[in-house]
A and B are shown apart, each in its own frame.
Chain A
Amino acid sequence: MPRNLMLALAALSLSTGIHAEVLTDADEVIARADLAAYYGGTDGRSEVRMIITDAQDRQQRRQFTVLRRDVEDAGDQQFLVVFSQPSDVRNTVFLVDKHIDRDDDRWLYLPGLDLVKRISAGDKRTSFVGAHYFYEDVSGRRPSDDSHEFVETTDAFYVLRHTPIDPQSVEFTSYITWIDRNTFLPMKIEYTNPAGNVYRRVEVFGVENVDGHPTVTTSRVSDLLTGGRTDMQFRYIQYDVGLPESVFTERSLRNPPREWLQRPEN
Chain B
Amino acid sequence: MKNTVIRLAIERPRSIYAAVMLLVVATAALMTRIEIDTDPENMLPAEQADRLFHNAVEKTYTYHDAIVVGVVNEQHPNGIYNVRSLTALHSLSNSILALDGVIAPDLASLASVDNIEQEGSGAIRFEWLMRAAPVTEQQATDIRDKVNRLPLLKDSLVSGDGRAATIYVPIASKDLSYPLSREIQALIDELDSEDAYHITGLPVAEDTFGHDMFVQMGISAPLAGLMLFVLMLYFFRSAQLVIAPMLVAMATVIISMGLMIGLGFTVHIMSSMIPIFLMPIAVVDSVHIMSEFADSYGRGGNVKIIISRVVDHLFRPMLFTSLTSAVGFLSLLLTPIPPVQIFGAIVAFGILLAFILTILLIPAYVIRMSPAALDKLTSEKRKAHTDTLLARALRRTGRFAMRRGKLVTGIAVLAIAFSIAGIYRIEINDNPVRWFKASHPIRIADDVLNEHFAGTYDAFVVLTHDGAVARAEYIRNANKLLVDIDAAYAVGIREQLNADPVDSGAYYGNLIATIDDALFDAVGPATVDSLERLMELAEQAQVTSKYFQHPEALEYISDIQDALNNSGYVGKSNALSDVVKVVNRELRGGADSEYRIPGSEAGVAQALMQYQSSHRPHDLWHIVTPDFSSTVIWLQLKSGDNQDMSLAMNFLDEYLAAHPLPADVEMRWAGKTFINVVWQNVMVAGMLKSLLGAFVVVFLMMAFLFRSARLGLLAMVPLSVTILGVYGIIGWAGKDYDMPIAVLSSLTLGLSVDFAIHFIERTRSFLRSSGSFAAAEKQMFEEPARAIARNAIVIAIGFTPLLFAPLVPYITVGIFMAAIMALSGVTTLVLLPALMSCAGPWLFPEMKKRGAFAAVSGEPATA
* Interface residues in chain A, defined as those with a beta carbon under 8 Å from any beta carbon in chain B: 49, 51-52, 54-61, 63, 85-90, 92, 108, 110-113, 115, 117-120, 122-123, 125-131, 135, 168, 171, 193-195, 223, 225-226, 228, 263
Task: Flag if A168 contacts B98 (CB, 8 Å).
Answer: no
Task: Flag if B612 contacts A88 (CB, 8 Å).
Answer: no
* Cβ contact of A168, chosen from B121, B132, B503, cutoff 8 A: B132
- Kindly list chain A residues whose C-beta atoms are within 8 Å of the C-beta of B609: 89, 92, 129-130
Min CB–CB distance B801 → chain A (angstroms): 48
Complex: how many Å from CA A89 to CA B600?
11
Contact of B861 with A by CB under 8 A: no
Task: Flag if B539 contacts A113 (CB, 8 Å).
Answer: no
Which residues between 601 and 638 of chain B lie within 8 Å of chain A, taking CB atoms?
601-607, 609-610, 612-615, 617-618, 620-621, 625-627
Complex: how many Å from CA A134 to CA B395?
90
4 tightest A-B CB contacts, nearest first: A112-B602, A130-B612, A88-B605, A112-B603
- Kindly list chain B residues whose C-beta atoms are within 8 Å of the C-beta of A63: 513, 516
Q: Closest residue of chain A to B539, judged by CB?
A: A87
Complex: how many Å from CA A57 to CA B612?
18
Task: Flag if B606 contacts A113 (CB, 8 Å).
Answer: yes
- Kindly list chain B residues whose C-beta atoms are within 8 Å of the C-beta of A88: 543, 546, 549, 601-602, 605-606
Task: Flag if A195 contacts B606 (CB, 8 Å).
Answer: no
New contact pairs (13) apart from A54-B618, A58-B627, CB-CB < 8 Å: A51-B509, A54-B621, A86-B508, A112-B598, A113-B588, A118-B123, A118-B124, A120-B120, A126-B126, A129-B609, A131-B617, A226-B618, A263-B520
Min CB–CB distance B437 → chain A (angstroms): 38
Task: Flag if A112 contacts B604 (CB, 8 Å).
Answer: yes
Complex: how many Å from CA A51 to CA B123?
29
- Kindly list chain B residues whose C-beta atoms are within 8 Å of the C-beta of A57: 503, 506
Complex: how many Å from CA A61 to CA B617?
14
* Cβ contact of A123, chosen from B62, B97, B126, B520, cutoff 8 A: B126
Contact of B151 with A by CB under 8 A: no
**15 residue pairs from A and B, CB less than 8 Å apart:** A61-B513, A86-B539, A87-B542, A92-B606, A112-B604, A112-B606, A117-B122, A119-B125, A120-B123, A120-B124, A122-B125, A127-B613, A127-B617, A128-B613, A129-B609
- Kindly list chain A residues whose C-beta atoms are within 8 Å of the C-beta of B618: 54, 226, 228
Judged by DSSP, the binding face of A is loop
Q: Closest residue of chain A to B598, judged by CB?
A: A113
Contact of B33 with A by CB under 8 A: no
- Kindly list chain A residues whose C-beta atoms are within 8 Å of the C-beta of B126: 119, 122-123, 126
Min CB–CB distance B64 → chain A (angstroms): 12
Contact of B587 with A by CB under 8 A: yes
- Kindly list chain B residues whose C-beta atoms are within 8 Å of the C-beta of A122: 119, 125-127
Min CB–CB distance A169 → chain B (angstroms): 9
- Kindly list chain A residues whose C-beta atoms are within 8 Å of the C-beta of B40: none
Complex: how many Å from CA A44 to CA B540?
32
* Cβ contact of A119, chosen from B123, B516, B607, cutoff 8 A: B123
Judged by DSSP, the binding face of B is helix
Min CB–CB distance A103 → chain B (angstroms): 11
Complex: how many Å from CA A228 to CA B626?
12
- Kindly list chain B residues whose C-beta atoms are within 8 Å of the C-beta of A128: 613
Please, how many residues of chain B have a CB less than 8 angstroms from a CB on the other chain? 62
Task: Flag if B598 contacts A117 (CB, 8 Å).
Answer: no
Complex: how many Å from CA A168 to CA B601?
38
Complex: how many Å from CA A118 to CA B124?
7
Complex: how many Å from CA A49 to CA B124?
27
- Kindly list chain A residues whose C-beta atoms are within 8 Å of the C-beta of B543: 87-88
Which residues between 466 and 520 of chain B lie within 8 Å of chain A, taking CB atoms?
503, 505-506, 508-510, 512-513, 516, 520
Task: Flag if A127 contacts B615 (CB, 8 Å).
Answer: yes
Q: Closest residue of chain B to A236, judged by CB?
A: B520
Contact of B131 with A by CB under 8 A: yes
* Cβ contact of A120, chosen from B125, B505, B506, cutoff 8 A: B125
Contact of B584 with A by CB under 8 A: yes
- Kindly list chain A residues whose C-beta atoms are within 8 Å of the C-beta of B509: 51, 59-61, 86
Min CB–CB distance A63 → chain B (angstroms): 7
Given the known interface contacts A88-B601, A113-B606, the answer about A56 and B60 at a Cβ–Cβ threshold of 8 Å is yes
Q: Closest residue of chain A to B546, judged by CB?
A: A88
Complex: how many Å from CA A226 to CA B622?
13
* Cβ contact of B512, chosen from A85, A110, A117, cutoff 8 A: A85
- Kindly list chain A residues whose C-beta atoms are within 8 Å of the C-beta of B94: 194
* Cβ contact of B128, chosen from A117, A123, A223, A225, cutoff 8 A: A123
- Kindly list chain A residues whose C-beta atoms are within 8 Å of the C-beta of B598: 112-113
Task: Flag if B503 contacts A59 (CB, 8 Å).
Answer: yes
Q: Closest residue of chain A to B600, judged by CB?
A: A112
Task: Flag if A60 contacts B626 (CB, 8 Å).
Answer: yes
Task: Flag if A113 contacts B587 (CB, 8 Å).
Answer: yes
Contact of B105 with A by CB under 8 A: yes
Contact of B104 with A by CB under 8 A: yes
Task: Flag if B512 contacts A225 (CB, 8 Å).
Answer: no
* Cβ contact of A89, chosen from B62, B506, B606, B627, cutoff 8 A: B606
